[in-house]
Amino acid sequence: MPARALSGAIALLLAACAAPGPGVDDATAPANPDTTPVAPVIAPPPASHNDRGPRPPAQATRTIVFVWDGLRPDAINPDDTPNLVALRQRGVWFADHHATFPTFTMVNAASFATGAYPAGNGFWGNTLWAPGASGNDASGRPIDFRQPVFTEDWGVLDALDRASNGRLLRVPTLFETAQQAGLKTAVVGKSGPAFLQDRRRGGIVIDENAVFPLDFAQQLRRDGVALPRNTPVAHGGQPALAPDNGNPTALAPVATVKLRGGLVSGDPTDSSGPRATAANKALLGLYLDQVLARRAPDLSLIWLREPDSTEHAYGPGSANARLALRAQDERLGELLARLAELKLDASTNVIVVSDHGHSSVGGSPQLFPPRVIADGKLDGIATDGQTGWPVSGEARTAELIARARLGIAAFDGAGCQTSAMAGLRRNGSNVYPLLFDASGALCGQPRTQYQTRSYKLPATLPPNAVVIAANGGAEYLYVPSGDSNLVRKLATFLQSREEYGAVFVAARHGRIAGTLPLSAVRLEAEGGDAESGGAPADGAATGPGNAASAAGAAGAAPGTTGRAAGNTAARAPFAPRTPDIVVSFDFDAGAVVGDLPGTIQSSFLNSRGMHGSFSPVDVHNTLIAAGPSFKAGGVVQQPSGNVDVAPTVAWLLGLRMPRADGRVLFEALAKPPSGSVPGAAVAASVAATPATGLRFALPTSADGADLDRNKTGRHETTLNFKDLRLPDGRTLRYFDQAKVQRK
């Protein structure tokens, strides 16, 4: 496969974001770390919401938001994505677009839904810890909420929403705003993020697992349309599926490569095709035939899971990832063709956006040389002229904490695990040795091969517990006791291991050397972190000629968590809760795998591709807009973000979203109001007070035995961002990356 050159924009970005000094990663248990008080860091501009500025237009313009999950902007090219390139040429290209950190699907789904950061909307994903909730998943199985839960499931989201008294999202959503104004809406696509846009089912919802409302599902059944297989679970057994219904949203299996000892991973050299082509074609077909053609909604959101699903399995630089781009581009072509056929193309805005970028999973090639893969097998270390693929980059935080003997009881909700991406040393040995549980005493099943043991949560947690939500490129750490000394010990441990990058800590624990506060990146819950559910979120939908209609009473109760050290009982009812620590895994934005730059370390998930980190490759995602409301052939140089999509779409519909953190992207509009376009942004950075006296452990040993003796123990964190001053007086901050250096 011919290599694609790193785009000029990305190259400039990396140069601009690079922190001074040599770029390295994290390490192990410290010898006398410096814990002196840290000087205050520059806080982001105060949250001021989008309730000022010009009045929106009186007439709504039909708008379709099409989310390409995991689409990197530098992956767009005429060969693989000709329809998207053409759309970019006739519309507006946002050259400096930003995902919300942590750069996960569900975090950004919440930003698309609300126009807000986690600090404002109160939602964490993809995996979060929510003790006290209860319910069944989309297939009808009971959910064990004692363990961290994966939220890409409408049943999980429904259970969380009930447990938080309807306040899973603490501010009004775009779809609620449109529905309150009397507009027709439809959402279709990936399980979890699509449903979150309209979790109260005020319009048509077609999820990979179900169709809402019931009467729409029944109509489709009468018309002989195949439904998502779990649709009857959502409606008490109705409608009964046809005998030949099948599973139209099923994913294709992953072609694998075998490693010594029986470990397997996705084969990045395979070219059998992407994972979700059939599922995405079925979902889009439902929308085009049954929704767009028959109902022509004012607002639609289509969220298809490619290229992300294939990138996870094979890596973003793989042959199958390129095939996933081509398949997704064909879906875009089908959408545009149907709009033209229905004579809706001239009156419809089409916005293509991704939730995040996507990186290859891989450790340092100096420590973990890439391997040649041939005929589905590993075939030695790659030499000059050979394409090498990582077999490294993953770490299980609970296992590392246990092996470090810190006096901390770590849990992540998962059982015994193996991963082919956990690190193959130069000599061919595994960082996490392969073990065998003959009796099943450790893993729950006899004759089980494992590398890491079970870390499921017991019914009662010990007072020294930490609960880890392992998400991929970043992880959330919850300390049920609220013990700030334990949090400090964890932060120091993460700083000492070279797998980890920037560490962010909740304000209730004070300042910790080498870390930044959650509030610095809009992650600290606004108004405090309420322990109980409370009333529904307030904030009315307003539009021209419409009176405000209240969506609920009060917001979150102010104040602190009120947790006493040593109190480890599960809280009920559940309320969305800020983690005590959010840590990004480390990254190398310039390392090339396949034909694309960017590698990250990751959770123990056996994935070749991942996101979630504060790498600029994960942060900088795609936004393209075309249609009657937008300029033709324009490039927007001002920074933009996923939080800006909802307020911009609301404007196109003649509405406002006063509780959004984002802005209307006036600079992209064909006819922006006078004085509404912002000027140039100002790039800046802020650094945490360094932590010193650390001992850095290399990722070549899970026990922390391999120390990086070339470093003196100084840990530095730099957060790069751009501030954009708006004509209405607000200043918005867009985060480019957070990078750690160990010296």
CA–CA distance, 473 with 583 (Å, rounded to integer): 9
pLDDT value for 525? 87
CA–CA distance, 668 with 679 (Å, rounded to integer): 13
Task: Give which of 458, 448, 439, 381 is closest to 418, Cα–Cα.
Answer: 448
**Peptide linkage before 239 cis (omega within 30 of 0):** yes
Residues linked to residue 498 through DSSP beta bridges, in sequence order: 26
User: Which segments of 520-560 are extended strands (E)?
Assistant: 541-543, 546-549
CA–CA distance, 418 with 315 (Å, rounded to integer): 19
Backbone φ and ψ for 516, nearest 5 degrees, come out as: -115, 150
Identify the residue whose tokens are 């000492």. Answer: 496
CB atoms closer than 10 angstroms to residue 23 = 16
CA–CA distance, 389 with 379 (Å, rounded to integer): 11
Backbone φ and ψ for 442, nearest 5 degrees, come out as: -90, -40
**Which two three-digit tokens encode residue 121?**
């909307």
Amino acid (1-letter code) at residue 347: S
CB atoms closer than 10 angstroms to residue 676 = 16
Consecutive H or E run containing 587: strand 587-593
Please give the average pLDDT of every successive group of 10 residues along the chain, which has 743 residues.
41 38 32 38 62 84 99 99 99 99 99 98 95 97 98 98 95 98 99 99 98 98 98 98 98 95 95 98 98 98 99 98 99 99 98 99 97 92 90 99 98 98 95 96 95 97 98 98 98 99 97 98 79 35 31 27 36 62 98 96 99 99 99 97 99 97 98 96 98 98 96 98 96 99 98
Contact assessment for residue 455 and residue 410, using Cβ atoms and an 8 Å cutoff: yes
pLDDT value for 564? 33
CA–CA distance, 317 with 4 (Å, rounded to integer): 10
**Three-class DSSP category at 410:** strand
**Which two three-digit tokens encode residue 359?**
């990186």
Task: Give which of 645, 669, 656, 662 is closest to 65, Cα–Cα.
Answer: 645
User: Which segments of 646-698 are extended strands (E)?
Assistant: 682-687
CA–CA distance, 35 with 213 (Å, rounded to integer): 56
pTM of the predicted protein model: 0.90
The angle at the Cα of 176, spanning 178 to 52, to the nearest 5 degrees, equals 70
Amino acid (1-letter code) at residue 723: D
Backbone φ and ψ for 363, nearest 5 degrees, come out as: -90, -175
Contact assessment for residue 381 and residue 372, using Cβ atoms and an 8 Å cutoff: yes
DSSP assignment of 15-60 equals HHHPPSS----B----SS---PPPPPPPPPPPP--S--SSPPPSS-
CA–CA distance, 101 with 265 (Å, rounded to integer): 27
CB atoms closer than 10 angstroms to residue 247 = 15
Report the interhelical angle of 484-496 vs 397-404 (nearest 10°).
100
CB atoms closer than 10 angstroms to residue 7 = 17
User: Which segments of 427-545 are extended strands (E)?
Assistant: 435-437, 448-450, 465-470, 474-478, 500-505, 516-517, 541-543
Residues linked to residue 737 through DSSP beta bridges, in sequence order: 720
**Peptide linkage before 573 cis (omega within 30 of 0):** yes
